[in-house]
Amino acid sequence: MPKPVTIADVQVILTQPGKSRQAIVKVTTSEPGLYGLGCATFTQRIFAVAAAIERHLKPFLLGRDVDRIEEIWNMSMVHGYWRNGPVLNNAISGVDQALWDIKGKRAGMPVYDLLGGKSRGAAHVYVHADGDSKEEVADNVRAYMEAGFRYVRIQLGGYGGKGSPMSKPKNAPPGAYFDPRDYARRTLEMIEHVRGQVGDQIELLHDIHERLAPIQAVQFAKDVEPFKLFFLEDALAPEDIAWFRMIRAQSATPLAMGELFNNPHEWQLLIQERLIDFIRMHISQMGGITPARNVAIFADMYGVRTAWHGPSDTSPVGHAANLQLDLWHPNFGIQEWYRPSELDYAIFPGLPVVEDGYLYPNDKPGLGIDIDEELAAKYPPADIIEDWTQTRLPDGSPARP
Ligand code: MG
């Protein structure tokens, strides 16, 4: 038996080349020059994830056999006894993705080949069009269409909208205010307008971002049905998922859900009862490639497709991991895509590229992505207190962002 390759070090690299703070895990091995990268980005609590990795996971993992991904994932999950929380899931994901990267490099294969091989050569993506007016949103959609995109998410004034007339109490604290009913009314008008302007040859999506009360979400899914969305995202908060039965019974609007999910209980019921059409976890938030692979296979048995979470608060390493999954699983639906900056591409060589609405891999072994650590260090994460998640209803009470 050859001597196993073992984990020699687990480093956390924190960087912020754009608006989101990112956590990358680098696992180095007993074999000189062999290392893997993984995404552990929980941007709002990035320093807690770093501490979980450095103080808890790293001492537990040093010296372990890098080939035993399943064992390491399961033991990491139960070793803290309390589990399925966002900080620890992200920490475990950083290591898990890095181990898949290492296994691919050792095998000389991209991760999609380790998973079973390609079902497709590239992944369809959707991009975000926002605007302060319905006319501006329509213009932005047209610009995307001209650039070759065929799937566009449309929002009016950001999540929950903005600029609604509202009368707040005179002692209302500062915050990101929105009015759910006004948001729903104006968004329906916007979607009708955009569909009328751009026709049927483009797929439109919308993200409610859990901004409506459950019964308002039921109404919205019915009202938006004539405009034939590709999907309606996060119609409900994870705490309200039992309401999906009501939406399903009353509308044929395709539903996507899952970016906030941490715990298998949250996705099991929705898939088994066929209450949604697209499952879309944040891969690092659920614990990495290992659990995502399991969910993709599980969802396939129930006709549910994937749409993994992929905005700018997924790191480039996380986007590379998303793409490996997208290329492999037969039940791929769509991939959310941000538009990386030149700096993102400079810090992360191998970050996938979009051409004509498709995301392409570079077919290198492992995840196919690397990091320029010196350049990343020039953009350290800022000490900020997030504003956009300090969400309030018109009377000042806290709301889900
Ligand atoms: Mg979303």
Residue 309 C-alpha to ligand 1 middle, in angstroms? 7
Residue 265 C-alpha to ligand 1 middle, in angstroms? 20
Angstrom distance (rounded) from CA 103 to CA 397: 49
Angstrom distance (rounded) from CA 283 to CA 296: 11
Active-site residues, by number, are 159, 209
Amino acid, res. 10: V
**Which residues line ion ligand 1, judged by CB < 5 Å?**
207
Residue 259 C-alpha to ligand 1 middle, in angstroms? 6
Phi-psi region of 233 (alpha: psi -120 to 50; beta: other; left: phi over 0): beta
Q: Which two tokens stand for residue 324?
A: 């490996």
At 387-398, the pLDDT tens digits run: 999 999 999 999
At 193-236, the pLDDT tens digits run: 999 999 998 999 999 999 999 999 999 999 999 999 999 999 99
At 354-384, the pLDDT tens digits run: 999 999 999 999 999 999 999 999 999 999 9
Amino acid, res. 84: N
Q: Is the pLDDT of residue 2 over 90?
A: no
Give the residue carrying structure tokens 């995502």: 292
Q: How remote is the C-alpha of 75 from its chain's centroid?
A: 25
Instruction: Supply the mean pLDDT for the chain.
Output: 97
Q: Is the pLDDT of residue 1 over 90?
A: no
Q: Is the pLDDT of residue 163 over 90?
A: no
Confidence of residue 276 (pLDDT cuts 50, 70, 90): very high
pTM: 0.97
Question: Is the Cβ–Cβ distance between 129 and 151 less than 8 Å?
Answer: no
**Which of 212, 295, 229 minimizes the C-alpha distance to 258?**
295
Question: Is the Cβ–Cβ distance between 111 and 39 less than 8 Å?
Answer: no
Q: What is the pLDDT of residue 162?
A: 86
Q: Which two tokens stand for residue 311?
A: 């905005």
Residue 209 C-alpha to ligand 1 middle, in angstroms? 6
Q: Can you count the helices (H) and strands (E) in the chain?
A: 15, 15
Residue 315 C-alpha to ligand 1 middle, in angstroms? 16
The residues near 147 (Cβ < 8 Å, ≥ 6 apart) are: none
Residue 338 C-alpha to ligand 1 middle, in angstroms? 12
